[in-house]
């Protein structure tokens, strides 16, 4: 940017003197002479061994063209060359610099005439090795936009992989554009080791979506940053400039680090010339915008962008074929491919139309042709999430249509869809389930079983796993009972253990998938898997125990009676098994015990505890996790007593688990903390804390952190009342030690740990507070931002305790200290400091705050301008708090200043900030009177930004609410006279919000606003009417039964014609208004309006009127009875004789 | 305030769908006869449901309340007589 500006200025300078085209020509000729031949240059570079900065290799890794690289290095080198002149000769005056500049221009002008279009290429620069290849390679003319040079493979003998087949479109005009995918612009000049990489990137269908999109992105960036050409420069700069040759003494420098530090030229807009620079339309002939390089024949222009990776699927579409020569089948395939492409890559509109087309025509196309194209597409590894989602949608829709026609393709579809079930992406799994569920509904159970039956005893575990999952989906779609007989048969299969394994796994998956819906079938399912516990194959026994665990987990807390038959084998199993299978059995028991009644739970816990305690010592990580989990489950059961746990479980538990090693693995850590908290809630916190409190001073930080977290959670749950003084001292001492000694980045655990302990201590914390505050103060001064932030956060935690302990002096001191730190640079830290400040102000009160509010607030005003979310949130909270409680300490002028700052806050992205801001407007208005604040806000209605205006209207409404509406309504209504659409709409909107907030207070203002609403409801602008209608709705809802019916009937007459509007927002607002008025005036009057059009000859009218009627009927049916018409049947065909029957004589009865 | 505009639109479109499931609501193609039968039934149902109305009607008819209720319930069957013959469309 700077460079561009400089150059332009220079040219302006000598515009008058040197505006001679002849001189320009001369300059060019001269430049030509001075130009050393390109090849020479590059050889030179080879000899000097100058390498491009940063190493070319990583560039080529990412697949950017070596050639482009050369452009960069050259331009930067030219740039640095200029710099070097500056630096070497300080005396040199500006004119000479100008000459240099223009000299470069001259050279480049000349370059435009020569085969290569890029002017930077010709600058006399010692290029890098990369340049040599590039410059030798392109002897012929290229299009200047063409960033994907058509590489002639001969130039790069090193990389034969570059010879991607080039596909041309039907007409010759697009021959210039290289076709054939992104492989083309991969740097082909790769050092040996990367040849493979380069070859791989050539085929887009082999790349991952991430890789492809990064490639595309990179290409886009480079297109934006490409060097300027002479044509572009000529378009920007007015006539009358000449290009001056560089002086003979000019020697470009080539120090690599300079190239690194020089900024590449960004695209700057060239305003000011008489012939403005035109934005180039992207890639001639290429459909893909950012140069995807694929071309479509003329007849296919309506198709969406074709990405390189789509090529292998949609290539046939690129051929221009004569529609008449196609057979039916081919035409069909082509049609389907076109529709799929539109669904996959098209605009939302195209997508919608094509999707509907595919759905409607599904049966005509037939299942075969459709799935033959969709399924390979779905399997392609380059498919992005969004595209997969769309294709899944297609399948979903056509499945409904095809119904039984899908049967022959069930297996094919399953092969493609099943892997989705174990995808790591949650949404992929959900979509996979959805398809399989629809498929099973369309094809029926028998077909599904027939299709998946062979996979059940497949030797490949992966296939069996996905099949089991697919079966569970089928079960949830068609009902579990339908599948039970089949499962029973599978689980008793004599043929292979794999079949039994899969059968049991299906049960497990079913219970995971459907959750508590297994309960009605629990007995059947348990019986199906039961024999598996004694199976001869160990894998079957393991999966059986896991299935039982899943069943018990899904059915908790019910269904223990169904598990009766498996209890015995399970308990026998844990005695006899070892290792992995034991882990599975323990898991099952862990889930079953919580279902039992207390007595049995106690008994079975004691039974299993022996084994568990034995396994405490296991070195196996998986086993440890399961044991911990089972202990937690057993301990939390009602029947297990605290004394038993204390005596039997605790000693080995602490001995084996509370060791440093456990803190290293994340999952072990979590499980151990959870289990310990659970144990402590049974045995009381003293026993547990006593055991681990001294570990707070352990030398391993990770272990200290684990201890802190556990103690924090225990105390949060159990309180601190059981702790005696000595334990309390040890605890606080240890906590402070751990807090001070922490080094790691994870500050949250220590913070909450210490915070919880101090809060729980309450009054008992008094002796420790000076020490704690000393630590905090010390850490607030730390070099590391994290530490300062944590210290500030801790103040917010302990501030309430300071109050309880009546440490007012300490608190004031902290306030002063925090005040001094308001100059903090790191926004995260500043946010925390503001939060701490808020906590201190909250507990100490506005009156006793030090520093006094009148000093504090002016200091906050500039901070409000900070754009960081956390700072904004905390500062607005603090300011709002002060405005609410202590507004009188601050002069009105300062509050107005803050009002102006607050307007900016309305732009915040976070809703909480905007809400806090509008509330603060209310507080300020209350403090200093509404008129000034209101003037500010009304002025802000003129801004363009919608969100800002909306927030302003809310603020106006809040001001009205807090300062009584009569102070605000006149000014607001007056503002409606401003002939600005935004302002008028803003006024209506604030009225709408205001009436929503003030509720029944609104009854005093109805007659004042009716003329305004009348006017708005008759406005030509749709939004006017919409907003006015919502104002009417809110107004009406506030004042039912207060005698304002006349006004509402009047307004209803204005609202009513609008029910025929088409825009959904408008219609919604109108119906809301009508609903509001119904509440205010009663349904009878509205029924009279409605009866006029229920049987109107025009369907459009009937539709709207019936909608109103249905609303009336569902909300106030009984009230309508009194208003029903006596007869409307007259005049309808054949009605005359029925009329007597119609009359309801009871209604005529009078006493 | 918690719902966005699109949510509300969705709710209102669902509301229409929901209402259509219940007896008594109507649609643009409803015949007068069906609607009249509905409001007739509503009227009788309202009489039966409000005890004050029941006592009033039975006083007028000089009948017991139970008998009146029975009579009114009976009337709810085809309150407008047999359906008119409709032209097929």
- DSSP for A1040-1061 reads TTSS-HHHHHHHHHHHGGGGG-
Where a domain ends, among A440, A464, A486?
A440
- Cα three-residue angle A53-A56-A62, rounded to 5 degrees: 125
Residue B56 lies in a domain: yes
Helix, coil or strand: residue A992: helix
| A1099 with B28: Cβ contact below 8 A | yes
Does the pLDDT of residue A712 top 80, yes or no? Answer: yes
Does the pLDDT of residue A1099 top 80, yes or no? Answer: yes
CA-nearest residue to A1142 within chain B is B80
Looking at beta carbons, which residues of chain A come within 8 Å of B36? 1127-1129, 1142
Residue B84 lies in a domain: no
| A1149 with B60: Cβ contact below 8 A | yes
Cβ-proximal residues to B82 (8 Å cutoff; 6+ apart), any chain: none
- Which of B8, B32, B79 is opposite residue A1132, by nearest beta carbon? B32
Residue A993 lies in a domain: no
Question: DSSP state, A657?
Answer: H
> A209, A205, A198: which is closest to A56 by C-alpha?
A198
> A919, A894, A920, A917: which is closest to A907 by C-alpha?
A917
Task: Give me the domain span that covers residue A882.
Answer: 852-928
- Which of B35, B59, B79 is opposite residue A1151, by nearest beta carbon? B59
Interval A106-119 mean pLDDT: 46
* Cα–Cα distance for residue pair A767/A765, rounded to 1 Å: 6
> A754, A842, A737: which is closest to A790 by C-alpha?
A754
Q: Which of A1106, A1122, A1151 to mutate to test the interface with B (most CBs of B within 10 A)?
A: A1106
Interval A531-536 mean pLDDT: 90
| B24 with A1144: Cβ contact below 8 A | no
Residues A781 and A866 reside in one and the same domain = no
Residue B49 lies in a domain: yes
Residue B83 lies in a domain: no
Residues A416 and A383 reside in one and the same domain = yes
Does the pLDDT of residue A101 top 50, yes or no? Answer: no
Cβ proximity of A849 and A859 under 8 Å = no
Residues A21 and A97 reside in one and the same domain = yes
Q: Which of B8, B20, B26 to mutate to test the interface with A (most CBs of A within 10 A)?
A: B26
Q: How far is B68 from chain A (nearest CA, A)?
A: 10
Burial of A915 (0-12, 13-18, 19+ CB in 10 A): middle
For B5-37, write each residue's pLDDT tens digit: 556 556 666 777 777 778 888 888 888 888 888
Cβ proximity of A175 and A301 under 8 Å = no
pLDDT for res A203: 54
Looking at beta carbons, which residues of chain B come within 8 Å of A1071? 12
Residue A909 lies in a domain: yes
Count of domains observed in chain B:
1
Pull the structure tokens for residue A815: 């306030």
Looking at beta carbons, which residues of chain A come within 8 Å of B56? 1149, 1151
pLDDT for res A404: 84
Residues A833 and A880 reside in one and the same domain = no
Q: Among A216-220, A807-811, A1124-1128, A1138-1142, which is the least confidently predicted range?
A: A1138-1142
For A52-91, write each residue's pLDDT tens digit: 444 434 443 444 443 444 444 444 444 444 444 444 444 4
**Confidence at A174, pLDDT banded by 50, 70, 90:** very low
Does the pLDDT of residue A624 top 80, yes or no? Answer: yes
Residues A123 and A29 reside in one and the same domain = yes
| B84 with A1094: Cβ contact below 8 A | no
Q: What is the ipTM of this complex?
A: 0.91
The predicted model scores a pTM of: 0.62
CA dihedral (A984, A963, B5, A1093) in degrees, to 10, reads -70
Radius of gyration of chain A from its Cα atoms, rounded to whole angstroms: 39
Looking at beta carbons, which residues of chain B come within 8 Å of A1142? 36, 40, 79-81
Does the pLDDT of residue A828 top 50, yes or no? Answer: yes
Looking at beta carbons, which residues of chain B come within 8 Å of A1068? 5, 8-9, 12
Residue A1141 lies in a domain: no
| High-pLDDT (> 70) share of chain B, % | 80
- Reading phi first (left if > 0) and then psi (alpha if -120 to 50, else beta), residue A559 is in left
Does the pLDDT of residue A18 top 60, yes or no? Answer: no
| B39 with A1094: Cβ contact below 8 A | no
Residue A81 lies in a domain: yes
Q: How far is B46 from chain A (nearest CA, A)?
A: 7
- Which of A1113, A1120, A1142 is opposite residue B25, by nearest beta carbon? A1113
- DSSP for A896-915 reads HHHHHHHHHHTT-SSHHHHH
CA-nearest residue to A1101 within chain B is B28
- Which of A1109, A1120, A1141 is opposite residue B81, by nearest beta carbon? A1141
**Confidence at A112, pLDDT banded by 50, 70, 90:** very low
Helix, coil or strand: residue A1049: helix
Helix, coil or strand: residue A584: helix
Residue B71 lies in a domain: yes
Residue A729 lies in a domain: yes
Q: Among A438-447, A1078-1087, A1112-1121, B19-28, which is the least confidently predicted range?
A: B19-28
CA A493 centroid distance within chain? 48
| High-pLDDT (> 70) share of chain A, % | 76
> By the CB < 8 Å criterion, does B22 face chain A?
yes
Task: Give me the domain span that covers residue B56.
Answer: 5-75
CA-nearest residue to B76 within chain A is A1144
pLDDT for res A12: 45
CA-nearest residue to A1117 within chain B is B42
* Cα–Cα distance for residue pair A215/A209, rounded to 1 Å: 10
Does the pLDDT of residue A307 top 70, yes or no? Answer: yes
Residue A235 lies in a domain: yes
Residues A845 and A718 reside in one and the same domain = yes
> By the CB < 8 Å criterion, does B30 face chain A?
yes
CA-nearest residue to B27 within chain A is A1106
Q: How far is A402 from chain B (nearest CA, A)?
A: 27
Chain A, chain B: beta-carbon pairs less than 8 Å apart: 90
> By the CB < 8 Å criterion, does B85 face chain A?
yes
| B80 with A1107: Cβ contact below 8 A | no
Count of domains observed in chain A:
4
Residue A88 lies in a domain: yes
> A177, A161, A162: which is closest to A291 by C-alpha?
A177
- Which of A1110, A1120, A1142 is opposite residue B26, by nearest beta carbon? A1110
Question: DSSP state, A647?
Answer: I
Interval A28-48 mean pLDDT: 43
| A1118 with B49: Cβ contact below 8 A | yes
pLDDT for res A79: 44
CA-nearest residue to B81 within chain A is A1141
- Cα three-residue angle A244-A246-A249, rounded to 5 degrees: 150
- DSSP for B21-82 reads TSTT---TT--HHHHHHHHHHHHHHHHHH-HHHHHHHHHHHT--HHHHHHHHHHHTSSTT-S
> A321, A346, A302: which is closest to A356 by C-alpha?
A346
Does the pLDDT of residue A954 top 60, yes or no? Answer: yes
**Confidence at A92, pLDDT banded by 50, 70, 90:** very low
**Confidence at A207, pLDDT banded by 50, 70, 90:** low
* Cα–Cα distance for residue pair A970/A966, rounded to 1 Å: 7
For A318-372, write each residue's pLDDT tens digit: 776 776 777 888 888 888 888 888 888 888 888 888 998 898 888 888 888 899 8
* Cα–Cα distance for residue pair A536/A497, rounded to 1 Å: 9
- Which of A1117, A1129, A1134 is opposite residue B85, by nearest beta carbon? A1134
| B24 with A1113: Cβ contact below 8 A | yes
Where a domain ends, among A851, A880, A905?
A851
* Cα–Cα distance for residue pair B66/B60, rounded to 1 Å: 14
> A656, A664, A742: which is closest to A703 by C-alpha?
A664
Cβ proximity of A789 and A751 under 8 Å = no
Does the pLDDT of residue A11 top 50, yes or no? Answer: no
Residue found by looking up tokens 């082909």 in the block: A188
Residue B87 lies in a domain: no
Number of Cβ within 10 Å of residue A481's Cβ equals 11
Pull the structure tokens for residue B18: 């929901």
Cβ proximity of A1094 and B26 under 8 Å = yes
Radius of gyration of chain B from its Cα atoms, rounded to whole angstroms: 19
Burial of A21 (0-12, 13-18, 19+ CB in 10 A): exposed
- Which of B5, B28, B43 is opposite residue A1124, by nearest beta carbon? B43
| High-pLDDT (> 90) share of chain A, % | 40
Residue A554 lies in a domain: no
Residues A212 and A353 reside in one and the same domain = no
Residues A65 and A93 reside in one and the same domain = yes
| A1117 with B35: Cβ contact below 8 A | no
Residues A856 and A833 reside in one and the same domain = no
* Cα–Cα distance for residue pair A399/A441, rounded to 1 Å: 9
Where a domain ends, among A873, A900, A928?
A928
Residues A727 and A829 reside in one and the same domain = yes
- DSSP for A835-875 reads HHHHHHHHHH-TTT-SS-HHHHHHHHHHHTT---HHHHHHH
pLDDT for res A300: 60
| A1146 with B59: Cβ contact below 8 A | no
pLDDT for res A204: 53
Residues A884 and A815 reside in one and the same domain = no
> A328, A413, A411, A390: which is closest to A364 by C-alpha?
A328
Residues A121 and A205 reside in one and the same domain = yes
Q: How far is A1119 from chain B (nearest CA, A)?
A: 9
């Amino acid at each position: 940017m700077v460079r561009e500006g400089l150059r332009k200025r220079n040219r302006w300078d000598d515009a008058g003197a040197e505006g001679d085209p002849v001189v320009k020509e001369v300059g060019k000729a001269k430049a030509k002479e001075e130009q050393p031949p390109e090849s020479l240059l590059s050889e030179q570079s080879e000899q000097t061994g100058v390498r491009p900065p940063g190493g070319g290799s990583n560039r080529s890794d990412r697949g950017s063209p070596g050639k482009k690289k050369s452009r960069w290095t050259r331009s930067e080198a030219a740039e640095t060359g200029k710099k070097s002149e500056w630096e070497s000769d300080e005396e040199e005056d500006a004119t000479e610099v100008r000459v240099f500049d223009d000299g470069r221009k001259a050279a480049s002008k000349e370059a435009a005439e020569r085969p290569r279009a890029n002017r930077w290429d010709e600058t006399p620069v010692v290029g890098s090795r990369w340049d040599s290849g590039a410059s030798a390679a392109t002897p012929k003319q290229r299009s200047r936009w063409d960033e994907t040079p058509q590489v002639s493979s001969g130039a790069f003998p090193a990389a034969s992989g570059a010879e991607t087949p080039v596909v041309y479109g039907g007409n010759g005009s697009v021959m210039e554009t290289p076709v054939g995918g992104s492989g083309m612009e991969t740097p082909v000049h790769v050092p040996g080791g990367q040849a493979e990489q380069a070859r791989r990137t050539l085929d887009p269908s082999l790349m991952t979506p991430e890789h492809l999109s990064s490639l595309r992105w990179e290409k886009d960036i480079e297109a934006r940053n490409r060097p300027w050409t002479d044509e572009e420069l000529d378009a920007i700069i007015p006539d009358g400039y000449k290009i001056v040759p560089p002086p003979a003494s000019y020697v470009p420098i080539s120090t690599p680090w300079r190239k690194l530090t020089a900024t590449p030229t960004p695209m700057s807009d060239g305003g000011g010339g008489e012939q403005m620079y035109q934005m180039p339309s992207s890639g001639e002939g290429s459909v893909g915008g950012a140069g995807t390089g694929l071309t479509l024949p003329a007849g296919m222009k309506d198709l969406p962008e074709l990405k390189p990776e789509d090529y292998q699927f949609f290539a046939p579409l690129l051929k221009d074929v004569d529609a008449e020569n196609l057979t039916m089948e081919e035409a069909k395939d082509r049609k389907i491919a076109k529709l799929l492409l539109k669904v996959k890559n098209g605009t939302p509109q195209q997508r919608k139309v094509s999707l509907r087309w595919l759905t409607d025509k599904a049966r005509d196309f037939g299942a075969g042709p459709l799935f033959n194209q969709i399924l390979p597409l779905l399997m392609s590894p380059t498919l992005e999430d969004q595209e997969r989602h769309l294709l899944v949608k297609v399948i979903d829709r056509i499945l409904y249509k095809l119904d039984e026609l899908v049967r022959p393709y069930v297996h094919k579809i399953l092969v493609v869809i099943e892997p989705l079930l174990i995808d790591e992406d949650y949404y992929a799994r959900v979509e996979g389930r959805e398809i399989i569920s629809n498929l099973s509904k369309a094809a029926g159970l028998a077909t599904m079983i027939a299709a998946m039956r062979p996979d059940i005893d497949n030797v490949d575990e992966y296939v069996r796993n996905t099949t089991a999952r697919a079966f569970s989906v089928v079960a949830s779609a068609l009902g579990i009972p339908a599948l039970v007989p089949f499962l029973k048969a599978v689980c008793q299969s004599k043929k292979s253990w794999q079949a039994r394994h899969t059968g049991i796994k299906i049960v497990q998956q079913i219970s995971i998938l459907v959750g508590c819906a297994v309960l009605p079938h629990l007995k059947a399912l348990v019986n199906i898997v039961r024999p598996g516990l004694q199976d001869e194959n160990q894998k079957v026994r393991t999966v059986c125990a896991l299935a039982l665990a899943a069943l018990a987990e899904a059915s908790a807390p019910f269904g223990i009676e169904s598990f009766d038959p498996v209890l015995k084998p399970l308990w026998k199993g844990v005695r006899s098994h070892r290792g992995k299978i034991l882990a599975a059995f323990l898991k099952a028991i862990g889930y079953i015990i919580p279902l039992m009644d207390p007595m049995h739970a106690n008994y079975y816990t004691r039974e299993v505890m022996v084994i568990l305690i034995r396994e405490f010592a296991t070195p196996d990580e998986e086993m440890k996790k399961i044991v911990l989990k089972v202990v937690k489950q057993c301990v939390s059961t009602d029947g297990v007593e605290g004394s038993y746990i204390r005596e039997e479980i605790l000693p080995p538990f602490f001995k084996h688990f509370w060791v440093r090693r456990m803190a290293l693995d994340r999952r072990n850590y979590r499980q151990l903390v959870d289990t310990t908290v659970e144990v402590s809630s049974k045995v009381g916190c003293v026993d547990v804390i006593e055991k681990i409190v001294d570990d707070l001073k352990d030398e391993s930080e990770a272990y200290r952190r684990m201890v802190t977290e556990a103690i924090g959670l225990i105390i949060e749950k159990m309180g601190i009342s059981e702790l005696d003084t000595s334990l309390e001292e040890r605890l606080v001492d240890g906590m402070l030690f751990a807090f001070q000694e922490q080094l790691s980045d994870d500050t949250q655990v220590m913070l909450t740990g210490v915070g919880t302990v101090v809060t729980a201590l309450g009054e008992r914390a008094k002796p420790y507070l000076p020490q704690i505050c000393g630590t905090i103060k010390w850490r607030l001064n730390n070099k590391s931002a994290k530490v300062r932030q944590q210290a500030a956060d801790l103040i917010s935690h302990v501030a309430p305790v300071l109050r309880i302990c009546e440490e007012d002096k300490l608190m004031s001191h902290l306030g002063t200290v925090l005040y001094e730190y308001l100059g903090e640079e790191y926004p995260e830290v500043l946010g925390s400091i503001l939060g701490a400040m808020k906590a201190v102000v909250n507990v100490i009160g506005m009156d006793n705050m030090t520093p006094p509010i009148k000093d504090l607030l002016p200091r906050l005003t500039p901070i409000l301008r900070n754009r960081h979310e956390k700072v904004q949130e905390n500062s607005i909270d603090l300011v709002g708090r002060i405005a609410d409680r202590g507004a009188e300490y601050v002069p009105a002028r300062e509050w107005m200043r803050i009002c102006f700052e607050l307007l900016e806050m309305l732009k915040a992205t976070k809703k909480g900030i905007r809400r806090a801001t509008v509330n603060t407007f209310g507080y300020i208005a209350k403090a200093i009177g509404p008129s000034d604040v209101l003037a500010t806000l009304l002025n802000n209605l003129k801004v363009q930004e919608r969100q800002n205006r909306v927030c302003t209207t809310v603020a106006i409404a809040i001001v009205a609410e807090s300062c009584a509406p009569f102070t605000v309504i006149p000014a607001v209504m007056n503002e409606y006279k401003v002939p600005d659409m935004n302002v008028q709409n803003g006024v209506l909107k604030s009225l709408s919000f205001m009436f929503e907030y003030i509720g029944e207070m609104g009854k005093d203002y109805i007659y004042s606003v009716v003329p305004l609403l009348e006017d708005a409801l008759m406005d030509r602008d749709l939004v006017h009417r919409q907003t006015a209608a919502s104002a009417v709705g809110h107004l009406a809802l506030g004042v039912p039964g207060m005698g304002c019916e006349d006004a509402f009937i009047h307004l209803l007459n204005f609202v009513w014609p609008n029910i025929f509007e088409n825009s959904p927002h408008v219609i919604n607002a109108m119906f809301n208004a009508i609903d509001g008025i119904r509440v205010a005036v009663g349904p009878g009057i509205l029924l009279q309006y409605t009866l006029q059009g229920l049987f109107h000859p025009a369907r459009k009218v009937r539709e709207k009127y019936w909608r109103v009627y249905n609303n009336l009927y569902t909300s106030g049916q009984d009230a309508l009875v009194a208003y029903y018409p006596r007869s409307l049947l007259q005049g309808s065909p054949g009605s005359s004789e029925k009329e007597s029957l119609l009359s309801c004589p009871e209604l005529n009865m009078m006493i | 305030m918690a719902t966005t505009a699109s949510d509300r639109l969705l709710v209102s479109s669902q509301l229409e769908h929901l209402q259509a499931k219940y007896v008594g609501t109507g649609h643009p193609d409803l015949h007068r006869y069906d609607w009249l039968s509905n409001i007739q039934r509503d009227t009788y149902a309202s009489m039966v449901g409000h005890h004050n109305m029941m006592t009033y009607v039975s006083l007028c008819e000089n009948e017991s309340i139970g008998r009146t209720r029975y009579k009114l319930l009976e009337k709810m069957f085809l309150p407008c007589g047999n359906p008119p013959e409709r032209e097929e469309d």
